[in-house]
Amino acid sequence: MDRRTFLGQLASMTVGGAVVSACGGTNTTEATDGAPTAITTKKIRWRLASSFPRSLDTIFGAAEYMADRVRAMTGGSFDIRVYPGGELVPGLQVLDAVQNETVQIGQSCSYYYTGKNPALAFDTCVPFGMTARQQQAWLGEGGGGELMAKVFSDFGIRSFPSGNTGAQMGGWFKEELGGLDGLNGLKMRIPGLGGDVMSALGASVQVIAGGEIYPALERGAIDATEWVGPYDDEKLGFYKVAKNYYYPGWWEPGPSMSIYIGEKAWASLPVTYQEILKSAIHEAGLEMQRRYDARNPAALKRMLEQGVTLRPFSEDLLAAAWDASNQILEDYAAKDPGYAEIYTHWKASRADQFKFFATAELAYANFAYPRG
């Protein structure tokens, strides 16, 4: 059968209720829910607004990777153009841009939008929350995703977890901290709930955009800053002006990045493209994590060769931070029943995860990591 005859036969044909485009559609396959659907070559072009700059080639790079995979799997028919923060919309307005249909798809962190709903923090991470694997398990299989979907439905958005930095570092301090007392009056750049906790512990918290942190640290306008981890931190050069590199970043033990898709945009996709996009989002999330895990060790080694000293936060600081963090979450839960429902579920899941990870994973790490 030649192509024209075949397409002619397809013209009046739909499969499983899915739209078969006029310019293609040659086969049936199965969506992951088992429903039959049609392969299509429908031309679709979307724009993705990211919150992140191109220089974060781990995070922003994962959005480009996702778009590349979608193009490859659709023979170029589904084309997602990826734009860095500030190019289409300001970096912290990506959720708004997807909600109001300025763009069909966005890449962001939900904890940027806690002003709209404090419970959005659980989609990313909260201080002393779960690690990357634990957060992925809670969102993907542990019931957290369903709870977050209810929050996102208020915005007309579908949110997909897509990548994680892994446990972040505590950041760069010009002077050695000592213990908890060292935070008194310390001027530190740290946004979000981590900043609220540091403030409760006596620090003078500053919120400064990425590009302005280095000069502020260099001239002493701030005494300390956190960012991400070795690979990203090295690029901003903090090690040149602050030699004490503290850990862990207990406020971000496993922040999960999100891909947002507007409900209308999602519904407009052929089912085949929805399935391809879901797979590409998932794959890009794995790509982000493996880039971090592959690049962080080498970056840390390079910076240690430049005279950087690794320092753990003291026990008294960590204990006070744990108490202050829990108090902040409890206070939100007391004010907001919707928040309380998610917090209660999340807290029970965290307890279960911590108990399990405290066995084989922890015993292995404690013994083997220092010896490797």
Site string for Ca ion, 289-328 (x = CB under 5 A): ----------------------------------------
State the Cα–Cα distance between residues 173 and 186, nearest whole angstrom: 10
Which of 184, 179, 217 has the alpha carbon at shortest distance from 200? 184
Q: Tell the smallest beta-carbon distance from residue 194 to Ca ion (Å).
A: 7
State the Cα–Cα distance between residues 85 and 93, nearest whole angstrom: 9
Kindly tell me which of 61 and 229 has the beta carbon lying closer to Ca ion: 229
Q: Tell the smallest beta-carbon distance from residue 234 to Ca ion (Å).
A: 15
- Binders of Ca ion among residues 243 to 282 (CB under 5 A) are 252
Kindly tell me which of 37 and 168 has the beta carbon lying closer to Ca ion: 168
Segments in the chain forming alpha helices (H): 3-10, 59-73, 94-99, 121-124, 132-140, 144-153, 192-200, 210-218, 230-236, 263-267, 271-304, 315-335, 337-357, 360-368
Which of 160, 166, 155 has the alpha carbon at shortest distance from 144? 160
DSSP output for 329-346:
HHHHHHH-HHHHHHHHHH
Q: Tell the smallest beta-carbon distance from residue 250 to Ca ion (Å).
A: 11
- Binders of Ca ion among residues 122 to 181 (CB under 5 A) are 168
Site size toward Ca ion, by CB under 5 A: 3
Residue with tokens 């023979």: 75
Site string for Ca ion, 209-248 (x = CB under 5 A): -----------------x----------------------
Kindly tell me which of 252 and 287 has the beta carbon lying closer to Ca ion: 252
Kindly tell me which of 166 and 262 has the beta carbon lying closer to Ca ion: 166
Q: Would you state the torsion angle of the CA atoms of residues 213, 258, 107, 129, taken in this order, to the nearest 10 degrees?
A: 0
Kindly tell me which of 249 and 270 has the beta carbon lying closer to Ca ion: 249
Q: Tell the smallest beta-carbon distance from residue 294 to Ca ion (Å).
A: 20
Q: Tell the smallest beta-carbon distance from residue 143 to Ca ion (Å).
A: 27
Let me know how many helices (H) and strands (E) the chain has, helices first: 14, 13
Whether 236 and 189 have beta carbons less than 8 Å apart is answered as no
Q: φ, ψ for residue 78 (rounded to 5)?
A: -105, 105
Sheet with 256-262, strands from edge to edge, namely: 78-83, 44-50, 105-108, 256-262, 157-164
* β-bridge mates for residue 187, sequence order: 204
Q: Tell the smallest beta-carbon distance from residue 146 to Ca ion (Å).
A: 27
Which of 181, 180, 117 has the alpha carbon at shortest distance from 147? 117
State the Cα–Cα distance between residues 197 and 91, nearest whole angstrom: 24
Kindly tell me which of 123 and 226 has the beta carbon lying closer to Ca ion: 226
Site string for Ca ion, 12-51 (x = CB under 5 A): ----------------------------------------
Kindly tell me which of 113 and 273 has the beta carbon lying closer to Ca ion: 113
Q: Tell the smallest beta-carbon distance from residue 168 to Ca ion (Å).
A: 5
Kindly tell me which of 234 and 252 has the beta carbon lying closer to Ca ion: 252
Q: Tell the smallest beta-carbon distance from residue 164 to Ca ion (Å).
A: 12
Q: Tell the smallest beta-carbon distance from residue 228 to Ca ion (Å).
A: 5
Two tokens at 67? 């778009």
Kindly tell me which of 44 and 308 has the beta carbon lying closer to Ca ion: 308
Which residues sit at the interface with Ca ion, rule CB under 5 A? 168, 226, 252
